[in-house]
Each structure stands twice: as structure tokens, then as C-alpha cells.
A = this chain, B = another copy of it.
């Protein structure tokens, strides 16, 4: 009987795979480009290759006992079918069945944000928590809920979509079709859009210069860099996003009264520059008892939240 498991964090641009003992000790990690453009079968092959490579690096043989895999949602967790994944170009992809056939071991598929929440809960910031809300602020904004020590999936595996709560009813259009979603005003994409808008009006010189003078090259990272160098306009852009994010986090606090909110994702690398603004807005918008009960923290596992969540999920699929 094999004595290891594998966790896979499958994203639109990279496949991130870890092999761990049954005690959860990670023995090896592999990261490769997803190459989604080469098609579904090719991505399956690449996942299988990372598993082989992780085994080689860990010096183990045989098959993993189980594979836990985080995929972009929405998906059917029970049947392991990814309904829609624009980043991967997939529709109703039978990921669990395909991988089980290819690799020959049980595969448990979950939403990637749910597994990031689970990773922080089992190994990270929420190690000692019972409930936890995880929010990832990146190009988009997603989330996952752990309640009573379990991933909370919702009626159609869609719980935790904090990025699509409306915070600004007449605000900018969101790609989901609604207006003023949190994601449309506080994500990295939104910050970059607002920076380019400044630049189009002849402002935002520091940001533009860091993007090599090319407005189309401006990203949230450029804005974060400019803000870190003290640029007031860039700081203003981050502060504005932080205020919107605070409104969203406060909604979570009022609705769920969680003991902990963990904020992860690329945008949180700039967290020291806007944390005070974020916390200030949450305090203003949340009921005092909910604010007092909730610890707001950044993810402890950084870019590995989802990966380690997948490992933990392989060890104890729900």
C-alpha cells in the first residue's frame, strides 16, 4: 500500500503539485506551466507528469493513495466535473474521471479557493480556528468558507463567491454581467484599470514609468511598486481598492460573524501599504461585536495556500 498522497493546484497558467507523507509532511513540490492552449488531454498529461516528477524528487515509488486537486470553479465536487473554466478553455470537463483513468488512483476535486481556505485552515493562519473565511484578492476576487471544521460548499458548490457581491450598485461593469461587484472595484484588474484611466488623463506618471512608459503594461503589481516607492497616486489607487475590500469584508463579518478572515492572493503582497485603510473601513462598516470577534490576517502560506489545501484534501477528502 502506498504511503503518500499528492496535492495539485491547477490554475490557468501553472500546475503546482506537491507530494506528502500520510502525516502531511511535504516531500517534494513541482511547478510547471499549464499549457492550457494545447488542449484538455495535454493538461491531463502534464498533471500526470508532475506527479511522476514529484515522486522522483521525493524518492518514492508506487502510486499515491489519493490525489487532491483544486480547480477553477464552478464545478461539481461530487462528480469532479469542471463546469466552466474560461482560463483553461474548459466546459463540463470530467476531470475526476479523466485523471482517475489516466493515473489509476482516486482523485478528489474541489474549488481552488475552497482548497486555499482549507490549506490555511489546516496548515496556515487558521490552524487553531474552527471557522474561517478565506478571501483571495488577485486578478479576480474569490473566497472559501470553512465552518465548523469543514469546507462549506453551498447548495451548488458555489459558496464563498465574495468577489461578486455588489458593493457599488451603479459601479463599473463586471465580467459576470452585474455592475459594481467587489471584483469590479477591488481586484488587481480593477486597480490596473483605474491606473490606466489616470494615465489616459495625463496623470499617473510614476506608475507609467515603472511600466516602461506603456499604459497597456500597467498591472496591479506596477501600482504596488509605485506605491511602495511613495507615489501618492499609486497609494490612492490601493487605498480606494482597500476601502471597497473593507466594505466586502464587513459584509462577511456581519453575515457570518467569523472568528477569522484570511486574506491572500497577489494583491495582498501590497497589504502593508493599505492594511490600515482596509481595517479602518471594516471597523466602520461592521457591527462592533462582529469586528471585535474577527481576526483579520494575511494568508500564512502565501502562494502555497491552495497547494497545501489540496494536500490536506487528499489526506482527508470531505
Chain A interfacial positions (CB closer than 8 Å to B): 74, 83, 131, 143, 145, 147-148, 152-162, 164-169, 176, 178, 247, 250-252, 254-259, 284-287, 289-290, 292-294
Copies held by the complex: 2
A251 contact from B143, B255, B285, Cβ within 8 A: B255
Q: Is the CB of A159 within 8 A of B247?
A: no
Q: Is the CB of B162 within 8 A of A255?
A: yes
Q: How far is the CA of A271 from the CA of B286 in the complex (A)?
A: 28
Q: Is the CB of B165 within 8 A of A257?
A: no
Q: Which residue of B lies closest to A161 (CB)?
A: B254
A155 contact from B247, B284, B293, Cβ within 8 A: B293
A255 contact from B155, B176, B252, B285, Cβ within 8 A: B252
Which chain B residues border A178 with CB–CB below 8 Å?
Answer: 284-285
Which chain B residues border A256 with CB–CB below 8 Å?
Answer: 145, 152, 154, 159, 255
Q: Which residue of B lies closest to A292 (CB)?
A: B156
Q: Is the CB of B255 within 8 A of A159?
A: yes
Contacts A287-B176, A290-B156; A254 near B162 (Cβ below 8 A): yes
Contacts A160-B255, A255-B251; A155 near B131 (Cβ below 8 A): yes
Q: A-B pairs with the 3 shortest C-beta distances? A: A154-B257, A155-B259, A156-B293
Q: How far is the CA of A292 from the CA of B156 in the complex (A)?
A: 9
Q: Is the CB of B257 within 8 A of A255?
A: no
Which chain B residues border A292 with CB–CB below 8 Å?
Answer: 156
User: What's the nearest-Cβ distance from chain B to residue A125, in Å?
Assistant: 15
User: What's the nearest-Cβ distance from chain B to residue A83, in Å?
Assistant: 8
Q: Is the CB of B167 within 8 A of A257?
A: no
Q: Which residue of B lies closest to A295 (CB)?
A: B155
Q: Which residue of B lies closest to A251 (CB)?
A: B165
Contacts A153-B257, A252-B255; A247 near B293 (Cβ below 8 A): no
Contacts A147-B147, A152-B147, A178-B285; A257 near B166 (Cβ below 8 A): no
Which chain B residues border A259 with CB–CB below 8 Å?
Answer: 155
Q: Is the CB of B285 within 8 A of A158?
A: no
Q: How far is the CA of A294 from the CA of B161 in the complex (A)?
A: 15
Q: How far is the CA of A156 from the CA of B295 in the complex (A)?
A: 12
Which chain B residues border A148 with CB–CB below 8 Å?
Answer: 148
User: What's the nearest-Cβ distance from chain B to residue A134, in Å?
Assistant: 13
10 chain-A/chain-B pairs, Cβ below 8 angstroms? A143-B255, A154-B257, A155-B257, A155-B259, A155-B294, A157-B257, A159-B257, A164-B286, A165-B254, A178-B284
Q: How far is the CA of A3 from the CA of B286 in the complex (A)?
A: 43
Q: How far is the CA of A250 from the CA of B167 in the complex (A)?
A: 11
